[in-house]
């Protein structure tokens, strides 16, 4: 698990465009891990970077990000310098193959759970690699702030497999993250869960949202 980052150069950008435009989606998904193994991830501020200033004001990093962390699905937007990044080139994020149990003091994932075929299995494995007494930090798109619709497919990302709300499941596609955690992680204590909407101003379902449009959860492994 490396955190190699780079500034995309002309060659790597061109190669990536060629892959996207010339091979089928399935083959592209197969080729992408090899691309990242060769080039690494470019520095790419995204949802995690968007939340940084708010988190600094809240004392988030001092409270929950001490020791060695794992950032699942980091994609070039690492939570903090004391994190290791895990992404497609490292293996299936649903299972974290090769990562030992109780390996990290904190585990973080931003906008990745919605891509998992089985979110419950993913949570169990993300929890598995967390030490007892450590913090699990989950940051996921809020259905009504981001998707602004109630059923799949996502208008903004065709790879999304689930939508999320805070406290309730809504068939067929929406999972309540609190019920999911309670069903899946019995040795967890939710420190807080909240809607994060700083800078969010766009409510039109035909226009991509701005600002934060997420749910943030911090849970303690007891």
Please give the pLDDT value at position 110. Answer: 98
Please give the pLDDT value at position 72. Answer: 98
How confident is residue 96, by pLDDT bands cut at 50, 70 and 90?
A: very high
Lowest mean pLDDT among 20-29, 137-146, 165-174: 20-29
Structure token pair of residue 145: 């702030």
SS percent in the chain: helix, strand, coil, step 5 = 35, 25, 40
Please give the pLDDT value at position 21. Answer: 62
Lowest mean pLDDT among 20-29, 140-149, 177-186, 206-215: 20-29
This prediction's pTM? 0.86
Please give the pLDDT value at position 27. Answer: 60
Per cent of the chain over pLDDT 90 is 79
User: pLDDT at residue 11 above 70?
Assistant: no
Please give the pLDDT value at position 136. Answer: 98
Query: For 201-216, b where at least 16 C-beta lie within 10 A, e where not — what string?
Result: eeeeeeeebeebbbbb
Give the model confidence (pLDDT) of 121-157 as tens digits. 999 999 999 999 999 999 999 999 999 999 999 999 9
How confident is residue 46, by pLDDT bands cut at 50, 70 and 90?
A: very high
- Residue for token pair 């990745």: 112
Give the model confidence (pLDDT) of 48-89 as tens digits. 999 999 999 999 999 999 999 999 999 999 999 999 999 989
User: pLDDT at residue 37 above 60?
Assistant: yes
User: pLDDT at residue 104 above 70?
Assistant: yes
Q: What angle do CA 65, 114, 200 make, to 5 degrees?
A: 75
């Amino acid at each position: 698990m490396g955190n190699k980052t780079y500034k995309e150069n002309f060659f790597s950008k061109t190669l990536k465009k060629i892959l996207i435009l010339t091979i089928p989606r399935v083959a592209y998904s197969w080729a992408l891990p090899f691309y990242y193994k060769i080039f690494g991830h470019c520095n790419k501020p995204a949802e995690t970077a968007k939340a940084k200033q708010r988190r600094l004001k809240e004392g988030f990093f001092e409270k929950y990000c001490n020791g060695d962390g794992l950032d699942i699905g980091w994609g070039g937007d690492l939570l903090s310098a004391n994190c290791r990044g895990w992404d497609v080139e490292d293996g299936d994020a649903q299972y974290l193959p090769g990562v030992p149990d109780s390996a990290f003091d904190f585990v973080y994932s931003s906008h990745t759970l919605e891509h998992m075929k089985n979110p419950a299995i993913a949570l169990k494995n993300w929890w598995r690699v967390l030490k007892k007494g450590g913090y699990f930090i989950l940051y996921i798109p809020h259905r009504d702030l981001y998707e602004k619709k109630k059923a799949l497919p996502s208008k903004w990302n065709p790879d999304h497999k689930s939508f999320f709300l805070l406290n309730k499941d809504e068939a067929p596609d929406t999972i309540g993250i609190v019920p999911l955690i309670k069903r899946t992680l019995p040795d967890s204590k939710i420190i807080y869960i909240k809607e994060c909407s700083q800078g969010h101003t766009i409510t039109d379902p035909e226009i991509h949202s701005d600002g934060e449009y997420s749910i943030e959860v911090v849970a303690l492994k007891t």
